[in-house]
Amino acid sequence: MAEITISLPDGSQRSLPAGATATTLAESIGSRLAKAAVAAVVDGEERDLGAPLAGGQQVAIVTADSEAGRHVLRHSTAHVMAQAVTQLFPGAKFSIGPAIADGFYYDFDLPGGRTFTEADLADIEARMRDIIKADQPFVRDELAAADALRLFADQPYKCEIIQRVSSGAADSDDAAELGNAETISIYRNTPEFVDLCRGPHVPSTGRLGHFKLMKVAGAYWRGNEKGPMLQRIYGTAWESKAALDQHLHRLEEAEKRDHRKLAVELDLLSFPQQLGGGLAVWHPKGGIVRKLMEDYSRERHLNGGYQFVFTPHLANGNLFETSGHLSWYKDGMYPPMEMDNGTYYPKPMNCPMHCLIFDSRQRSYRELPLRLFELGTVYRYERAGTLHGLMRIRGFTQDDSHIYCTEEQLQDEIISLLDFVMSVLRAFGFTDFTANLSTKDPQKYVGTDENWERATEALRMSLEKYDLDYKIKEGDAAFYGPKIDIDVKDAIGRTWQLSTIQCDFNLPERFGLEYVGADNNRHRPIMLHRALFGSIERFFGVLIEHYAGAFPTWLAPLQARVLPVAEAHQHYAEEVMARLHQEGLRVDLAEANDQLGKRIRAAKMEKIPYVLVVGDDDVAVGTLGVNPRGGEVERGVALDEFVRRVVDEVRAQLAVV
């Protein structure tokens, strides 16, 4: 019998009978592998397990518990969902259904403009379980575009995809369905249900099952807001029940950290309906945290060679004509106010005003780099549907800096900015950083290509020199220049985009900014835009989620609460509080009106770092019972000792720069 030889990832070789498939290969290696297998990578390309192998090929088995394996599971589960929906909703059109991070979705167009309800999800899920139980095979077939068009004649979205792919105009959405194959590949589950797909898929639906449909949403066809709106169902799918449960548990944990919920519970801030959408008021407890954040930021900026400036909330529209904001972002600006001497707008950015400060007198090269810093409040008319707690808000304060420098200074300045930004972020408990480099959007930019290239190159070289991991985001730049965004990873592994460093050759030109060089000639400075927290509001929201509301001692609204065991200890408790206030600590006192246990519980729910209990023993010798957040109760701690510990703790938290 003829044999073929296959190379495995570990370099070993294996002989198999001719006509063998990846399934045969997996079985020959071990039954556990065969059970976990969902697809194969053959000579670098993902294939179905059932595809025949040829001699000399490199083959790796993809198991369900790998990222690639889960991707296959999710994509296959999406097909099952599409089949369930087409069965339950005759006449439903289906468009695309890719695997995404943690799950999958599928977009549908239901007859008569019908929309899904949450209740439909249970029915669809039940039908999906039937399909999985039936263990339908995923049968791949390839056909010519004309045949595919005939097959999907009653599926307009599929036809659109086939036409785009066969005419070579496929985009990334299409590619998810079909790749860029010359022939159209399809997967058939039943004589009735067939879907366009590049694959690979699991051999049969029986391999699926650890999934859950999560939510319904509207989604524009091909992301085009002028196009039809489809009905999207999101689901999640995993290799095992344990993995699915773990994922659902993670979601619950994330929900507990929701800053909107915690902001109410901890009395930090609110969004009163009377104020209008996307506008927040800071309550005293949120206010003190914000003050601490800002004080720390100001101190660091002062030490970092920044100069403080202040600019008004309104500006004449001419200013934003000059900057270009009105031509690019008019829709995102609050509407104008007509006044005696012109049209005024609430400012959406601080940079134009900082340019005016630069331009207020003649500048010398000796002044550069000139670093202007402002906690500048801006207003942006975010569309109603995009508002989201503190993360997307209409009035917010940027910790905004604009640095004017020479071309020679540019790279060092960017590198020192990277250093400065991450150093400040470390004080807030972030240690894991990555970067994105956003390049020119060919549809939306000002300035010359040459300037864009120089700016992009300066940013790229700085990242290389600083040795920070980064990805390129094509076309994601601001209209005036390319940028580096710094992402941080939070306590539960989510990433948040925080800081931004933007290189700008264009605004200095638009504002005609100049300095006198050592050669006594006039030169144009380069401008760096830099926001560190980004928006104070948003950064605060990220901090709430990162710490789950339990701010580190240096940042906690209240650092300690003194609890007298009984009324008799009230006087001593007041003395303790007075002493701690003297030391600059933020402390309050809960009188003995309620039982001790109840007051402790309340303090714990408020996530106060230290609960200090004082009773007879303490009054006698000047001590405290110290109940730290997340730690063990310690009795008989001397007051001086406690002060020393807290002061040391705060110093250590801020010494991470």
Partner RNA sequence: GCCGGGUUAGCUCAGUUGGCAGAGCAACGCUCUUGUAAAGCGUAGGUCGAGGGUUCGAAUCCCUCACCCGGCUCCA
The CB-of-87 to RNA minimum distance in angstroms stands at 21
Please write down the HEC assignment for all residues of 461-476.
HHHHHHCCCEEEECCC
* Residue from the set 245, 253, 474, 617 that interacts with RNA by CB under 7 A: 617
The per-residue DSSP string of 449-510 comes to HHHHHHHHHHHHHHHHHHT--EEEETT-SBTTB-EEEEEEE-TTS-EEEEEEEEEESHHHHH
What is the rounded distance in angstroms from the CA atom of residue 95 to the CA atom of residue 161?
9
Kindly write out the interface string for residues 425-464 of this chain, putting x where it contacts RNA by CB under 7 A and - elsewhere.
-------------------x--------------------
Kindly write out the interface string for residues 467-506 of this chain, putting x where it contacts RNA by CB under 7 A and - elsewhere.
-----------xx--------------------x-x----
Segment interacting with RNA (CB under 7 A) among 26-34, 343-351, 407-415, 519-527: 343-351
Segment holding 96, helix H or strand E:
none
> Is the CB of 152 or the CB of 282 nearer to RNA?
282
Asked whether the CA dihedral 493, 497, 499, 504 is positive or negative, the reply is positive
> Is the CB of 396 or the CB of 430 nearer to RNA?
396
What is the rounded distance in angstroms from the CA atom of residue 557 to the CA atom of residue 529?
31
> Is the CB of 25 or the CB of 560 nearer to RNA?
560
Q: Which of 441, 440, 472 is nearest to 453 (CA)?
A: 440
* Residue from the set 518, 605, 652, 656 that interacts with RNA by CB under 7 A: 605
User: Catalytic residue numbers?
Assistant: 351, 380, 398, 400, 402, 483, 529
The CB-of-441 to RNA minimum distance in angstroms stands at 8
> Residue 350: what are its φ and ψ, rounded to 5°?
-95, -20
Asked whether the CA dihedral 173, 179, 185, 190 is positive or negative, the reply is negative
- Binding of RNA at residue 316 (CB under 7 A)? no
Q: By CB neighbour count within 10 A (0-12 exposed, 13-18 middle, 19+ buried), where does 476 fall?
A: middle
* Residue from the set 83, 189, 231, 297 that interacts with RNA by CB under 7 A: 231
> Is the CB of 413 or the CB of 504 nearer to RNA?
504
- Binding of RNA at residue 614 (CB under 7 A)? yes
* Residue from the set 41, 149, 175, 264 that interacts with RNA by CB under 7 A: 264
What does DSSP say about strands 3-7 and 13-17: parallel, antiparallel, or unpaired?
A: antiparallel
Site for RNA in 56-115 (CB under 7 A): 115
The CB-of-3 to RNA minimum distance in angstroms stands at 49
Segment interacting with RNA (CB under 7 A) among 20-28, 179-187, 404-412, 605-613: 605-613
Segment holding 127, helix H or strand E:
helix 118-133
* Residue from the set 171, 407, 432, 594 that interacts with RNA by CB under 7 A: 594
Q: Which of 484, 526, 487, 476 is nearest to 501 (CA)?
A: 484
Segment interacting with RNA (CB under 7 A) among 270-278, 418-426, 461-469, 578-586: 270-278
Asked whether the CA dihedral 426, 428, 434, 439 is positive or negative, the reply is negative
- Binding of RNA at residue 387 (CB under 7 A)? yes
* Residue from the set 20, 417, 558, 565 that interacts with RNA by CB under 7 A: 565
Q: Which amino acid is at 197?
A: C
Segment interacting with RNA (CB under 7 A) among 9-17, 210-218, 299-307, 645-653: 210-218
- Binding of RNA at residue 568 (CB under 7 A)? yes
* Residue from the set 600, 608, 646, 650 that interacts with RNA by CB under 7 A: 600
* Residue from the set 4, 229, 314, 643 that interacts with RNA by CB under 7 A: 229
The CB-of-67 to RNA minimum distance in angstroms stands at 20
What is the rounded distance in angstroms from the CA atom of residue 62 to the CA atom of residue 37?
6
What is the rounded distance in angstroms from the CA atom of residue 426 to the CA atom of residue 125?
45
- Binding of RNA at residue 657 (CB under 7 A)? no
- Binding of RNA at residue 348 (CB under 7 A)? yes
Which residues does residue 624 pair with via DSSP β-bridges, in sequence order? 637
Per DSSP, the three-state class of 526 is: strand
> Is the CB of 50 or the CB of 552 nearer to RNA?
552
